[in-house]
Amino acid sequence: MSKINVLGQEVFNRIAAGEVVDKPASVVKELVENSVDSGATSIDITVKDGGRYIKVADNGCGIEYSDLKTAFMPHATSKIKDLSDLDAISTLGFRGEALPSIASVAHVSLTSRRKEDETGGRIVIENGKVLEETVVGAPCGTTVIVSDLFANVPARLKFLRSARSEEGEIASLVQRFILANHNVAISLTTEDKEIYRSEGKGLEEAAFAALGENVLKEYDYIHASVPGSEVYGYISKPAFSKHNRSYQTLIVNGRYVVNGDISFWIYNCCSHILMKRQYPAYAIFINVPPDMVDINVHPSKMEVKFIDLGGIKRLLSKAINESLARTSSEPKLIEREIPADEKTFGTDTLRFAADDSIGAGEIALAGETPFTDVRENADETKSSVVMPVRSMFVPTSEREYRAPLKNEQSQTFAEVTREKEKPSQYSLLKDILSDTEKERDSYTDISRHRYCGKLFNTYLLLESHDEVILIDQHAAHERMLYDDLVKAVEAGRNTVQDLLLPYIFDVSYSEAELIDSHLSEIRSIGFTLERLSGNSYSLSSVPLALSDMDLSGFVSDMTELLKRGSFGKSALLKNSLMQSACKAAIKGETDITDDDAKLLIRDICERRIELFCPHGRPIAVRIKKTEIEKWFKRIV
Ligand code: ADP
Ligand code: MG
């Protein structure tokens, strides 16, 4: 080995820069954070050349002329003095690393003037060397121009992505800054095009600027608090969920952060109404006392740890559940609030959400609960195991949907329901539609309508004196089959169905490791899974209720859940049950008889099914007569 050298400052800074500034977006992040920390009320960001030129101008407190050089020294910060300050950091920066790091990999010019000074100063540094330090006239605040970024770091330069991708990343970063600092006016201009401009007039205005002008239509405002802590922000309505997680912003005490537990928790709070592979978009703010959060976990300060994770989860569940319940009273989509005591498997996440003692990783395992606590009617539910509901409209020999369909020849839906003479129905029917959406009961609504045909062999059409309701036959049937399957699984958790031929499948090495580490859980649900040689597996039995399941879909669901770290009995079963229900449900564009249509409608009301299919699509939609009249200009 060679002799040990103490590295020179320049080399050291360059190495440190690797951690702090690995791409243009991280330069923007550091500079904007400095501007926010300076108390600026206005921050303008200009980006050119895929982020190799970055200008950030603020109107904050400025830097004293004599401090200009110091600001660029490693570990030079005005934000903390000693160890004790570390426990209650209220600024975004505090490590004193950003400016020296940036200056070691770029040409930097910083111009600044404090309000109390008559003149300002400018310092120009290139690759760590001071080129210029002059007194200049300048507006109050600080302007930093970074150019030729990474010009002296060929390795970094090589890894820069296209100008568009780098700018895209900067844009989503700025979007988050706008939300997090909604009292600061922030603008982003790239290549002379203005991407964002907020005016610093509060959260709603910032949401408007950052999430788009439809924010109020597409998102729900949520809020919940306990003394000392609060959770609030915007979460997308089910119909406006996204196909990936990049529309999720979590802001803790004013700082944009990442926290796997929390984002998983939020997803879980609403997954039951989301379609598969759909994710909520959100900008959620969590404010807790500074000593209840550890922001010091990650060098670039994006990750945080909460001291009282359970408490935060409880607040989130409350805020999100309340918003879901509110959505249910919106005029166009017919749905309902899920009663807290509803014990169906399909709503497991909501119930778990109410239980703060369960950590994110444990939710899945807790999915066992529904199997045990929903067995009051063991016999009744069991019968649905034997005839599980596959085909309402295409009865097969051994499986029938339920009570005889053909014998019921009623004319209208109301008559069908009356025939059954169940007290519960009458209580449904006697309700009168109230004009206030809040008091409205969707099932009463549906049951007081007259079935009057179908559209496109897909949507059942119901009419009353002042509106029509459209019901998606596939989605509605799917929801019922799903609920039945859930019951069947709950009642007969150990009943398995051997496959005629084992299903053999291969996975990757890392997937195999994951499967092996969860083998006993997978088996305990009723999937007999054996590892063969290498990364091949044999599946030889499945839970009885899932005997028709799509096996390859099951395998991909299972591996995906395992990879996401969200594997658990409940999650796996939920996906499998959804799949099965979807496969077995009457399809759209299928000509069902009027009687079957009426029965379907009757069941919706009688069973008070959740008016979203298991994938989260709405089952019923209403159109007001007045709306139709407007189309024809009968009214304006
Ligand atoms: P840190 O933000 O961790 O303190 P930096 O290297 O980012 O470290 O900045 C060093 C110091 O320079 C800051 O502590 C602050 O005093 C000063 N500074 C940097 N940018 C600004 C700015 N835009 N306005 C006022 N002061 C600034
Ligand atoms: Mg800083």
How do residues 198-257 score in pLDDT, each as one tens digit?
A: 999 999 999 999 988 888 888 999 999 999 899 999 999 887 888 778 789 999 998 888
pLDDT of residue 102: 93
For the cut 70, the answer to whether the pLDDT of residue 430 exceeds it is no
Query: Quick one: which atom of ligand 1 is closest to the CA of 95?
Result: 3
Q: Name the range with the highest mean pLDDT among 179-183, 330-334, 358-362, 623-627.
A: 179-183
Region label for 6, one of left (φ > 0), alpha (ψ between -120 and 50) or beta (otherwise): beta
Q: Predicted confidence band at 116 (pLDDT cuts at 50, 70, 90)?
A: very high
Give distance in angstroms: CA of 19 to centre of ligand 2: 14
Ligand of minimum distance to the alpha carbon of 63 = 1
State if pTM tops 0.75. Answer: no
Stronger pLDDT, 78 or 288, i.e. the higher one: 288
Q: Residue range 352-375: average pLDDT?
A: 28
Residue 148, SS3 per DSSP: coil
The whole-angstrom separation of Cα 511 and Cα 120 is 60
DSSP state string for 449-509? SEEEEEETTTEEEEE-SSEEEEEEHHHHHHHHHHHHHHHHHHHTTT-EEEEEEEEEEE--H
Q: What is the 3-state secondary structure (H, E, C) of 170-206?
A: HHHHHHHHHHHCCCCEEEEEECCEEEEECCCCCHHHH
Q: Quick check: 425 and 606 in contact, CB under 8 A? A: yes
Give distance in angstroms: CA of 244 to centre of ligand 1: 35
Q: Predicted confidence band at 97 (pLDDT cuts at 50, 70, 90)?
A: confident
For the cut 50, the answer to whether the pLDDT of residue 260 exceeds it is yes
Ligand of minimum distance to the alpha carbon of 72 = 1
Stronger pLDDT, 563 or 71, i.e. the higher one: 71
DSSP state string for 6-66? PPPHHHHHHHHHHHH-SSHHHHHHHHHHHHHHTT-SEEEEEEEGGGTEEEEEE-SS---GG
Closest residue by CA, ligand 1 atom 18: 34
DSSP 279: B
Query: Quick one: which atom of ligand 1 is closest to the CA of 76?
Result: 10
Collect all residues with Cβ–Cβ distance below 8 Å to 76 and sequence separation of at least 6. 70, 96, 99, 100
Closest residue by CA, ligand 1 atom 7: 98
Strand order in the sheet with 528-531: 496-506, 536-543, 528-531
pLDDT of residue 17: 65
Per the structure block, which two tokens stand in for 117?
A: 């000074």
For the cut 60, the answer to whether the pLDDT of residue 354 exceeds it is no
pLDDT of residue 113: 96
For the cut 90, the answer to whether the pLDDT of residue 326 exceeds it is no
The whole-angstrom separation of Cα 182 and Cα 177 is 8
Query: Quick one: which atom of ligand 1 is closest to the CA of 141?
Result: 24
Q: Predicted confidence band at 497 (pLDDT cuts at 50, 70, 90)?
A: confident
Instruction: Work out the angle between the directed axes of helices 163-180 and 24-37 (0-180°, nearest 10).
Output: 20
Give distance in angstroms: CA of 120 to centre of ligand 1: 16
Closest residue by CA, ligand 1 atom 12: 71
Residue 249's DSSP bridge partners are 283
Give distance in angstroms: CA of 598 to centre of ligand 1: 69
Query: Quick one: which atom of ligand 1 is closest to the CA of 58?
Result: 23
Per the structure block, which two tokens stand in for 355?
A: 């239980």
Protein residues with CB under 6 Å of any ligand 1 atom: 30, 34-35, 38, 58, 60-63, 71, 76-79, 93-99, 142
- Around ion ligand 2, residues with a beta carbon closer than 5 Å are 34, 93, 98
Closest residue by CA, ligand 1 atom 23: 35
What is the chain's mean pLDDT, rounded? 76
Give distance in angstroms: CA of 426 to centre of ligand 2: 67
Q: Quick check: 109 and 122 in contact, CB under 8 A? A: yes
The whole-angstrom separation of Cα 464 and Cα 440 is 15
Rounded to 10 degrees, what is the CA torsion of 338, 342, 348, 352?
A: 90
Closest residue by CA, ligand 1 atom 4: 77
Ligand of minimum distance to the alpha carbon of 74 = 1
Collect all residues with Cβ–Cβ distance below 8 Å to 6 and sequence separation of at least 6. none
pLDDT of residue 628: 87
Mutating to test ligand 1, I would choose from 19, 30, 44, 99 the residue with most ligand atoms within 8 A of its C-beta, which is: 99
pLDDT of residue 501: 87
The whole-angstrom separation of Cα 24 and Cα 47 is 9
Strand order in the sheet with 467-472: 333-334, 620-624, 467-472, 459-463, 450-455
Per the structure block, which two tokens stand in for 351?
A: 């119930």
Ligand of minimum distance to the alpha carbon of 94 = 1
Residue type, 539: L
Cα 615–Cα 620–Cα 624 angle in degrees, nearest 5: 145
% residues pLDDT > 70 (the chain) = 77
Span between the terminal Cα atoms of the chain, in Å? 87
